[in-house]
Each structure stands twice: as structure tokens, then as C-alpha cells.
Chain A
Amino acid sequence: MSDPSAREDVIGQSVIRRDLLEKVTGAAEYTVDITMPGALHAKIVRSDRAHARILDIDAREALTLPGVVSVITSDDLRGLYPRFGHIIADHCILAIDKVRYYGEPVALVLAETVHEAADAAELVRVTYEDLAAVLDADQALAPGAPLVHEQRYASSDDDSFRLLTGGKGKVATEAAAELSNVAHQVTLEWGDADAALREADIVVESEVHFPMLYAYAMEPYNAVASYSADGLTVISTAQHPYMVRDDLARIFDLPLSRVRVRAPYLGGGYGSKSYTKVEPLAAVGSWVARRPVKLVLDVEESIYTTRADPADVKITSGFTKDGRILVRVIDMVMDSGAYADNSPLVLAKALNRSFGPYRVPTLRATGRSLYTNTAPASSYRGFGAPQGALAGETNLDQAADRLGITSADIRRLNLVDRDEEILPGKRGLDADIKADLEMVLASLNRDAKDVAGYGVGFACTASDAGAYPVSTAQVRVQTDGSVTVLSGSTEMGQGSRSALAQIASHELGIDMSRVQVVQSDTAITPYERTTGASRTTTLVGLALQRACEDARKRVREMAAEIMACDGDEVTDVPGGVSTPGQAFLSYGDVIKAWFGAAAGEVTGVGLVRREGVTEKMPPFWEIGMVGVAVQVDSDTGVVTVDQLVTVADVGFAINPQAVEAQDLGAATQGLGMALYEELVYDGAQLANANVVDYRVPRATDVPAKLDLMIAQRRDGVGPYGAKGAGEGTLNPVGAAVAAAVARATGKWPDRLPLTPERVWTLISDSGSAKE
């Protein structure tokens, strides 16, 4: 029944989101809505300095306040594994011996009410001895710089992290040999770059700075935890509940089966809620107090919990005189903050995505992820691709200018063809990216204007997406023929609940209204490695297809048994089976007859691993293809995006409206980093750790003209030829806007965001927009 023509009415059609009504009416359940009987409320006492030794924590006064139950410090965690971190286990649950950034949790106050906890937190006196701090990448790399970490930690021995990085060329991905502030470094290399640069007809060098960002989600970090003799239960706003489970099991040395992590709806994730964040704090609170503990951060605390990596990128490209790329040399430095979190992988991915979906015969890309005394950085939608694309794409545009060819032609000349490898030894490109480019160009040309201050830019990216292909799904077919789909993938606004229902509906030939999707509860739903890298439709979709196939097979076997016929005489029909003796038996008929009562159910299991269609890494390439037209006000420097053109190269759009919405959301988020968003440190503290001064896009910022196109060539490994969406369209936006501003002003900006003052300075001063 995998022939998509069989039920085109379900897949490939825009369906109303399953979570729509409850979300718009406020009825949807989020973690913050969940209470546990007898729960205490937690408030974090945070470091008020960047780098300091903790001399004393005096909680006596705090403990005298009414309602205060406990003040927990790292001393209280004896017997536990006091750190977490899925790649490098460097992250203290509560600061041990010293604090490494302003905002780091030092103590946890537990009280009967939120107010009591907040009041008591202000009375916890921490005595520090200040240490010299490194507050940015330059300081971290300076000779003799103070060390953020004076020791090494256990690194993950999970081979999948290696497989998610580079290609078959020479790949080195490791922590630096000597103790330094380099948390992680990656080299990706093929060919002799120095020789190739010597042979090049022209060499184009450029340098960009990508800003420090916050992946603003309306729902801040929060969790509620209950530790008992029976094990640990944590409900949290987590994209990857299974990854969080693994960290928690290590902390408490519990069997995985006795750690339950559940994620209800997420109020936005964008990568910021991938991996472990506040769950260990709530959990150790409950472990100490033996009562459930609820912890809810505000936006400022959330910003100090996780931000995105800013990057300084130098890129040198050599070309033949007719515009072919001979070589690209890239050096990237990321400021990853006080703890590694997912930054090592972000760095590796940023390098993979820095040289573009082009034929690059020779490459040398090096990157370093640095520890600094600032808030820890981790994943953010696009995962290093926006950083890499800003450097690589604007460098290519500048090369086109030097070569006297158009930005379109230099891409036509160098973009890889279908099936051609971007990373040696990895999956060839499963897309027609050249055709995607022509779609964007045609749309931009159709609306081209010839007025002063007007500029058009576009950029292309291809991301090695889908993360690591480990995915499982189950379908439980009930006696009435209705179906429960179980998946460990999290619904975080991207619409997976609808897409999975559509797939199950199609595969089993039942109406979508009879499919219920239950997600993200490690005690109930089957294993899912992560919800990120645009993987759900492709990988969970495949697992679900296989689970449906498995369920149908079981029903066929049962039908053969009850109808006393051969197994191969039973065939699938929508909603049931057909046998020689009976033209139609519904799933429910078969199940009831087989169990011999009006009872029972059939469970189908689907597994995805690195084999068959998903053997080659990455599982798929996610295309980012974006064009913008901007109007620059030369008096103020304000950039107005007049037109936005996107292509969702998704292979097959299971829910087209959701694909468009993902692209519009991703592009709008991209406009945020292109034009408005930047976290600014003023000494040890952020100057704008709030959403008043940290300006995120608003509804009124959405461009007047939108052209959200979908390219459907059925060339993905997912169900019906589908590939993922959601990240791709964000990735090139910064580069496209920078190019458009360059075309409008005649000068190349070298950093984002392009705030009015930066653009005004670019226009009115000679030279670049450097500050």
C-alpha cells in the first residue's frame, strides 16, 4: 500500500493541524501546566560574576524564611555523578569549586511556594574569590589566557558523533592535546590547498562575523521531577527526551528503564531544547527533598542557560578565470561559552556546511570551539549552517564580482549535480539544486525593481541532515480498527503529529480521524534518538511505515489462521484484509476473531538503523534556497525586506501547508539573525538578556511579497520520496540578506545583524561595516 496514488486524499494534502484548536484556545498542555502532588518549587541561586572560586555558600538566613525546605549546593550531590553533557560530560549540575559564567547555577532553593523560593534565593550568601576571566574568543585564545576548565572530562564513546562529522577525506575531530580553552577542534581536508591556491587564477579572501544568538522560544526552560524508590520521573520541555534520560540515568546510576522522561507540547524549541538543560536541577532537588520539584525559568534565565555559537570565519577561495572553484580554505572560531553542550557537533556541522553545495576539488577547513566565561552555547536551528553559509556564500558573490560574472552564473557553474558527492564518501546529493536555484531566480526576476536603494540577493545551502538514523515506531491496532501511533519524536510546533497521522492513515487505509498519535514519553513511546535536523518526517516516517507494514503482516497471518487459508492468499485492502472466503475483513474483525473475544490488539513495530536506504550518511541532504529583495533607507540604514522567495526541496510534501509554514517560520527566524538579533555582552553580563532589547522578528516584519515554493521530485529516502524541512530555509537567509544589502549599497557587509546603524555606517563611511 506504499503506492502513494492509492490514497492521495490523505498524504500530499494540507490537513488541519491536530494541535491547532487546543493551542489557539489555550487548552494545550505544556510542561509548565503540569503539577505533581506535594511538589516543592525551586529557584536557582546564580553566579553574579564571570569566573570566580566559590569560598563559601551561607544558606542559614535563607533557611529561616517560612516555607523554605532546603538549599542545595554541589556538596549535597555526593554519591551522584555531578555532571552532564552528551558529548563532553563537563557541565556541572551545580557549580563545583568555581563558577565559569555569570548566571551559572550555584545553589537550588526549594520552598513550598514560588515566592518563598524566590525570596530565599536572594538571601543565600555566596562568597567568591574572583578569577581572571576570558569573555570572548580572542581573550580565550590569547597566550597565557586563564583556563575555563583546568581538567579534561569523559567524552562520549558513541561512534555516531564521529559519523555525523566530516567526509571520507582527512577528518580530525578531537579535543586539543594540551589544556587550553579549545574545547574541541575539527579539520576537514582533501587535496593540497596551498598548491591549489598557487594555481588559482584569482584568489578571493573574506572574513565575516556571525552574531551570538538566542533561539527565542515563547516557552522558557522548565521541568518537574519526582524521585522515589521506584525511580525518577521528569516532565520537561525537551526535544530529545531519550537523550535527557541517558544523562539522568548516569547522574543517579539508575537503569534506563527506571528513568522516565516525558515531553508534552513544546512552546518552541529551535534546537535550544535539544539535550539536557534544567532536568538535572529539578531531579537532584527531588532526590534531596524526596518530594517532587518544579522549576520554571524566566526568559533571562533561559538566555543564560543556552545560547547559539557566534563565529568568526575567514575564507579564502581560489578560482579559474572562468569562475570554477579550485579550492576553499576556511578557518572558523566559535565562542561556545562555559560548557561544551552540543557545540562540538555544531562546529563539525558548520565546517561541513561552510564551503557550500559546490564542486570543491580541494578543501581545508579548520574549526575551533572555545570555552569562554560566558553562557554555554549549543544547537540552534540550522546547526552551524547559517554561520558557514554567511562566510561561504558572500565570498562566492564577491568572487563573482571580481570575475565579472553574475552571482547566478557562478553558482550554475559550481553547484553539484544530482547524486554527486558534496562530502567525499557520503551520500550524493539527493536533489536537483540547480533547478531549485532557477526557481528562485525566476521568481526574483519576475518582480525585479529598478529603484535606488533596492537590492536582490540569494544564497544556497545543502545541509547533511537527518542526524543519526536510529528511529523506532509502533502502531497499535484496536478492535474497532482505530490505531494508536507511538513515537518518541517530540511535537514542538513543527507539525509531526499531523504528518505521522497522515502516514498511518495512508498505510493502513483508515480515516485520519481514527489515528491517534502519542509522542515523547520514554516509559511508553518507543526509542527515538532525537527530534532535530529535520529528521522526523523522513526517519520516523520510515519507521512508522515499517510499523504499519508489520501490523498488516500480523493481521494477515491472523486472518490466514482464522480463515484456514494460506498466508499468501490473504491480501491487504484499505482498513483490513481480503481472503478467499471473505472479500473484506476489517482489522477489528480479524483481531476479535483471533483472540476469540471482543478484545485484544495488534502491535506493529518499525525500526530504522543504518542499513538499506538509510545506510549512507547523511540520511538526506536538506536544501536551503532563498532569495530576498530589500529596500535600504540611506538616511537611517533601515533595511526593509520587500520580497522573500523560498524553495522547499522536500521530495514529497506530505502536508504542503505545513511545509510552507515551516519555510515561512524558518525564513522569518533567519531575518531575525540577518537584521535584528544579537546577544551583546557588556563585561561579564549580557546587556540584552530580555526580549525587549533582544529584538526578535514580529508579524509586521514578514515581507510584503512571499513566494513559498515546493519542489517535489520524490527523491528522498523517506516515505513516498519525502525529505525533511524546517531548518533548510533558515540557513541561507543571512547570506542572502547580506548580498541584497551589498547590491543595494555597493558595499559588502561583513557581519550580522544588519542593524540600521551598521547599514548607515556602511553607507556613510568608507571601508567596511566593521566596528
Chain B
Amino acid sequence: MTLPDFALARPDTLEEALALLGDDQVPYCGGTELLLAMKVGLQRPETLVDVKRVPELRGVRSSHGELVIGGASTHDDLSRDALVREVLPLLAEVEAHVGNARVRVQGSIGGNLCFAEPKSDVATTLIALDASVTLQSSSGRRTLLVRDFIVGPYYADKEPGELLIDVRIPLVATRRGAYVKFQVTERPTVGVAVVQDTETGACRVVVGAVGEIPVWRDWASVADIDVEELSSAVDPVEDLTGSERYKRHLTAVFVRRALRDLERSS
């Protein structure tokens, strides 16, 4: 459990950062996932490219009907950010309860998504909010939805030369949402996000943590939500926090609890 040797690069601009990235030159931000992976020998990169000084990765702004969150923003930053709290209180609330205090002050939203940790509260919430990510490499820029970005457990659709610049969430004035999770150990056993457009009544339910990747469903109205269908659609990973049977049961319980909280939200 000792950290292997590595070089540390600290670029000041996006161009410098992108030029440094490669197969063995990986982005480093909070290090809450990367350093652990290195300590247990899962990764042994040659260079850590510290992206925290890159201006494009910092800050939160509203732009063209979207909330744009710099990829290096920490969970703690987002839980306190005045703009996030005003326009997306759901996200601020989720970020305030991610992991533990140390993870929140160190870990970034971009790093969280790039690691595609199956127990991520953030990914589940962002899929419910129909968020997308902006990826950039020296050869160009692309945008894809978070739900497409998360391909598998610990596997995101990102090339080694790409950097997650920002997360973009469409701002919908008539939207409301809720997130509930069941957590006994360090990570959630199940997390459920539900977001509804109160004008059309349409809603999306996303179930995370229980399986390898979040499962999501869109319904025309809350009344149409088929809790049983959702709890049979998830593919629970059996572990010390529960059997498949128990986790399907918990899925149903927490979808109902999320819907109850949704009704209570304004």
C-alpha cells in the first residue's frame, strides 16, 4: 500500500495539459480514486498531469440555457456554490452527501465521472438531469450525454488523450427532482434519482449503485412509473451489503421513497 514512483506535471493552460496526456500520462485532479488505484497496484502511470490549474476546468457558470460546471470543481465546491444552489438545488444536495468529508473536499465532479465508479451518486443524478460532458483532446472536442459516457463499471468513453473539460446541465425552469440513497457502509447500496418536468409531467427515474451502471427509464407521468418493472430491470451486484433479492427489494423501496420526496419538493 505504498504509492509507486511517478512524475508530476503541473500545466497552467489547457493546451499544455492536452499535449502532456497519453497512455501513461494521466489526468490527476483530486486523486481520491487514482491514488488508491495506484496504491493497490491497479494503475502505475508514468506521469500525473495535475489539471487543477487549467482555467477551463474551473468554476460554474450559466450559459445558453445550460449550467456549465468546470470538471475540476470539487463536490464540496458544488455543494456550496451559490448558482448551483439556486438553479439546481438537487445537485447541490447530492454533492453535500457524496462519500465523506475528505472525498468531498478533494474529489472532483470530472474525476468522479471519468472513473465511472458504479456507486457514484453524482452520475446517477446527472443522468436524471440529462447532463452531458465536454471532452477535448489535441485533435478536437466532442460532447456526449453522461448516460452514454458511462459505458461500464470503471469504464467511461474517454480516450487517453482526452480531458473532461466540463459538465453541462440543461436548465429547465419547470423541473423538480429528488435523490435518495440507502447507505450502510462507505458507499451507497442503491441510489435513486427522479426528475420531473412539472409542465409536461414527464419524468425520468435513474437507479444507480445497485448494478454495474445506472439504469434509467422515462415515463410520461409519475402515474405511469412501473416500480416493479424497474426493480426487475436492474442487474444487482451481490456483495456484502446485500443479495440480489434484497437489492431488488431495496430498489423498489427507494424508487417509492424518491417519488414520495418528489411530491414533497416544490
Residues on A lying within 8 angstroms of B by beta carbon are 114-115, 118, 298, 300, 635-636, 638, 676, 680, 687-688, 692-693, 695, 755-757, 760-761
Contact = CB atoms under 8 A, between A and B. Distances in A.
Contacts of B243: 757
Interface stretch (B69-77, B129-137, B163-171, B179-187): B179-187
B185 A757 contact: no
Contact of B185 (A298, A687, A695): A695
A298 B184 contact: no
B2 A115 contact: yes
8 contacts: A115-B2, A115-B5, A636-B250, A680-B240, A693-B185, A756-B242, A760-B246, A761-B246
A638 B5 CA distance: 44
B249 A760 contact: yes
Contacts of B186: 692-693, 695
Contacts of A115: 2, 4-5
Closest 6 CB pairs of A and B: A692-B186, A757-B246, A298-B1, A635-B253, A118-B2, A695-B185
A303 to B, nearest CB: 13
A693 B253 contact: no
Nearest to A675: B184
Residue in A298, A676, A688, A693 whose Cβ sees the most chain B Cβ within 10 Å: A693
A760 B241 CA distance: 12
Nearest to A692: B186
Given A695-B186, A757-B246, 11 more contacts: A114-B2, A115-B4, A115-B5, A300-B1, A635-B253, A692-B186, A693-B185, A693-B240, A760-B246, A760-B249, A761-B246
Contacts of B1: 298, 300
Residue in A300, A636, A755 whose Cβ sees the most chain B Cβ within 10 Å: A636
A572 B13 CA distance: 79
B86 to A, nearest CB: 29
B2 A688 contact: no
Nearest to B3: A115
B240 A636 contact: no
A676 B240 CA distance: 11
A756 B184 contact: yes
B43 to A, nearest CB: 16
B83 to A, nearest CB: 30
A300 B39 CA distance: 13
B246 A676 contact: no
Contact of B242 (A635, A687, A757): A757
B117 to A, nearest CB: 13
Question: Could you say which interface size class chain B belongs to?
Answer: 10 to 19
B11 to A, nearest CB: 27
A636 B249 CA distance: 8
Contacts of A693: 185-186, 240
Contacts of B184: 638, 676, 695, 755-756
Contacts of A757: 241-243, 246
Interface of B: 1-2, 4-5, 182, 184-187, 240-243, 246, 249-250, 253
Nearest to A300: B1
Contacts of B4: 115
A688 B250 contact: no
Nearest to B182: A636
A39 B195 CA distance: 60
Contacts of B246: 757, 760-761
Contacts of B242: 756-757
Contacts of A298: 1
A300 B185 CA distance: 17
A335 to B, nearest CB: 19
Contact of A687 (B5, B240, B249, B253): B240
A103 to B, nearest CB: 14
A688 B249 contact: no
B135 to A, nearest CB: 30
A130 B186 CA distance: 36
A603 to B, nearest CB: 46
A688 B240 contact: yes
B111 to A, nearest CB: 18
Contacts of A687: 240
A753 to B, nearest CB: 11
Nearest to A687: B240
A40 B182 CA distance: 46
Contacts of A118: 2
Contacts of A300: 1
Contacts of A755: 184
Residue in B4, B5, B246 whose Cβ sees the most chain A Cβ within 10 Å: B246
B243 to A, nearest CB: 7
Contacts of B249: 760
Nearest to A756: B184
A60 B240 CA distance: 40
Nearest to A761: B246
Residue in A298, A638, A688, A757 whose Cβ sees the most chain B Cβ within 10 Å: A757
Given A688-B240, A692-B185, A695-B184, A636 B253 contact: yes
A300 to B, nearest CB: 8
A480 to B, nearest CB: 47
A673 to B, nearest CB: 15
A636 B246 CA distance: 9
A718 to B, nearest CB: 41
Contacts of B5: 115
A693 B246 CA distance: 18
A694 to B, nearest CB: 9
Contacts of B240: 680, 687-688, 693
B232 to A, nearest CB: 18
A688 B184 CA distance: 14
B187 to A, nearest CB: 8
A635 B251 CA distance: 11
B41 to A, nearest CB: 8
Nearest to A43: B2
A339 to B, nearest CB: 24
Contacts of B185: 692-693, 695
Nearest to A297: B1
A298 B241 CA distance: 24
A483 to B, nearest CB: 43
Contacts of A756: 184, 242
Contacts of A638: 184
B183 to A, nearest CB: 10
A718 B13 CA distance: 70
A479 to B, nearest CB: 51
A693 B241 CA distance: 9
B182 to A, nearest CB: 6
Contacts of B187: 692
Residue in A687, A692, A756 whose Cβ sees the most chain B Cβ within 10 Å: A756
A692 to B, nearest CB: 5
A755 B1 CA distance: 30
A453 to B, nearest CB: 15
